[in-house]
Chain A
Amino acid sequence: AQSVTQLGSHVSVSEGALVLLRCNYSSSVPPYLFWYVQYPNQGLQLLLKYTTGATLVKGINGFEAEFKKSETSFHLTKPSAHMSDAAEYFCAVSDHEEYGNKLVFGAGTILRVKS
């Protein structure tokens, strides 16, 4: 069954601290993997994506994620949190077989940044 699991519906970090948002997926074939961010009353914005090639992907706003096939993970990180990073983050997966070229989303993780 297709699924995306985001561990932790809420994550709280101090400003300047490391951000780590976890995502695990299931897919029977090489997946495409995405991280989106959603600010209040705004649409989802693509942070980064993995399709093929280098497994460490850099995105906007200093975020990066690493595709680890052996762990079926695609965790999102940022070395130093900023207040403006407070938002909800969604991990999503797609492949051309199991998911039929559609995005399947995780439940989301709300990131809170404390001053």
Chain B
Amino acid sequence: GAVVSQHPSWVICKSGTSVKIECRSLDFQATTMFWYRQFPKQSLMLMATSNEGSKATYEQGVEKDKFLINHASLTLSTLTVTSAHPEDSSFYICSAGTSGHGREIVETQYFGPGTRLLVL
């Protein structure tokens, strides 16, 4: 089956620094990638949708200047948390859509294992 990897799996950083998280589709081309955030004991919340070669679409309430998303190729999307603060500590999960448009993308999402970020 389709595999999505994330790197790093966990990261600890100091407040004020920036952290980059990579999401890769290992054996398929992903035209669309999604970034989610999961707080402890809460559901996954969609942060943004990125399409290869175009700007990401951010959900309401998500700061685009805080969470920079780049989807430069069909197999790689990156999320950069800029000037991280303790409240940014969370579990970040990406997913990749393999084909189609609209609802087809939703149907064929494959999820990465997540990246746990701790900001001190």
Contact = CB atoms under 8 A, between A and B. Distances in A.
Given A43-B112, A44-B93, A44-B111, A32 B106 contact: yes
Interface residues of A, number: 23
B57 to A, nearest CB: 9
B43 A108 contact: yes
B109 A43 contact: no
Contacts, number: 56
A76 to B, nearest CB: 16
Contacts of A17: none
Nearest to A4: B43
Interface stretch (A61-69, A77-85, A95-103): A95-103
A41 interface: yes
Contacts of A105: 43-45
Interface string A1-43: 0001000010000000000000000000000100010000111
25 contacts: A4-B43, A32-B106, A43-B93, A43-B95, A43-B112, A43-B114, A44-B95, A44-B111, A51-B103, A51-B107, A94-B103, A94-B106, A96-B102, A96-B103, A101-B103, A102-B34, A102-B49, A102-B106, A103-B34, A103-B44, A103-B46, A105-B44, A105-B45, A108-B42, A108-B43
